[in-house]
Amino acid sequence: MTPLAVRVLFAAMGQHDRNGHARFRSGELADVLGSIDVTTDEVRPARRDSVSDAIKAAKRLGYITDESTVRCLVLSRHVFQKSWGSSDPCAVHG
């Protein structure tokens, strides 16, 4: 298990709608997965390859589905189900 894969799971759980889709603006997931510069207290976004690797690991672990992308993480049904909230179609996946 990788710590960033778990953070991907928590990011998706904190942002998802009733369909299990968690949409992110460009660069937003990199900020969520980033770190704090202890010298300046600024958020350092995660590198693109780190974000990609974290998403791949979260897919391997079954936290999110294979259709997940950096713009929309889709929670696996066995991880989480929700019967209330928005059920609007996903702007990324339709």
pLDDT in tens, 29-81: 999 999 999 999 998 999 999 999 999 999 999 999 999 999 999 998 877 76
The predicted pLDDT at position 93 comes to 57
The predicted pLDDT at position 80 comes to 72
Average pLDDT over residues 11-32: 92
| C-beta of residue 73 within 8 angstroms of C-beta of residue 12 | yes
35 vs 93 pLDDT, higher one: 35
Bridge partner residues of 10 (DSSP): none
Q: What three-state secondary structure class fits 52?
A: helix
Task: Give the Cα separation of 24 and 4 in Å (integer).
Answer: 16
